Amino acid sequence: MSYLADVATLARKDLRLELRARDTLPAMLLFVVSTLVVFHFTLPRDASRLAAFGLLWVALVFTALLGLTRCFAAEREQDVMDGLVLAPSDRSAIWLGKAISMLAFLVAAETVALPAFALFFDPGIDGRTIAGVALADLGICAVGTLLAGMAAASRARELLLPLLFLPLAIPIVIGGVGASVAGGSRYVEFLALYDAIFAIICWASFEYVVTE
């Protein structure tokens, strides 16, 4: 229980920091909406559903990447990471707290992005698409937070994070587009499996990311 209390404390702190600084969420919202507007005007009117959903997933992945670049910004810029690392709580709680706050930002961006997508492209968003987005969010936040932690320790972090994250996000895009346009639950199950495997790997390895 104390582990979950630590996670809640850390996630609440990140949400409070965002409420005060407003560094991340407004940028994510602006990015995803303007990307969808650009896609709306560049995609031909007779474009397929597959193309429209492909662009939605590109927009979502890059929006998430934008948020992830700020994920450890407060700790890095204010040198607070040592304080968190020295606390007696399990260090994976730092990862989980960050991943939860990141998930909150991403879900907030998607609550604007999905209606905007439906408005611009009228692709027919069904339950499988929503499930695909929800599962993809979990995978993006699990993997992205670990990689953001790794990149934060590097001088070339702005370059390193996309280089590490985008290859690992390819299965998420495949699963997400598949869940949106293909029938059956195969792609949703694939995303769930991806989430389970990578969440365990990230949870277990975060300690090594924040310690020398």
Partner 1 sequence: MIRAQGLEKRYGEKRVLRGVDLELGRGGFLVVTGPNGAGKTTLLRLCVGLAQPTAGELEVAVPRGRVGFLAHEPLVYRELTALENLDLYGRLYRVPERRERIGMLLERFRLWDARRERAGSFSRGMLQRLALCRAFLHEPDLYVLDEPFTALDDEGVELLGRELLERRERGTFLVATHDPGRVQALATASLRLAA
Return the number of the residue (70 or 128) whose C-beta is nearest partner 1.
70
Residue 117 tokens read as 């997508």
Whole-angstrom distance, CA of residue 134 vs CA of residue 178: 14
CA nearest to 78, candidates 165, 147, 20, 3? 20
CA nearest to 142, candidates 99, 180, 109? 99
Candidates 84-92, 112-120, 151-159, 170-178; binding stretch for partner 1 (CB under 8 A)? 84-92
At its nearest, how many Å lie between partner 1 and the CB of residue 152?
15
Which 19-48 positions form the footprint of partner 1 (CB under 8 A)?
Answer: 20-21
Which 54-83 positions form the footprint of partner 1 (CB under 8 A)?
Answer: 74, 78-80, 82-83
At its nearest, how many Å lie between partner 1 and the CB of residue 144?
22
Residue 115 tokens read as 């209606």
Residue 187 tokens read as 């792609």
Binding footprint of partner 1 on the chain (CB under 8 A): 2, 5-6, 9-10, 13, 16-17, 20-21, 74, 78-80, 82-89, 211-212
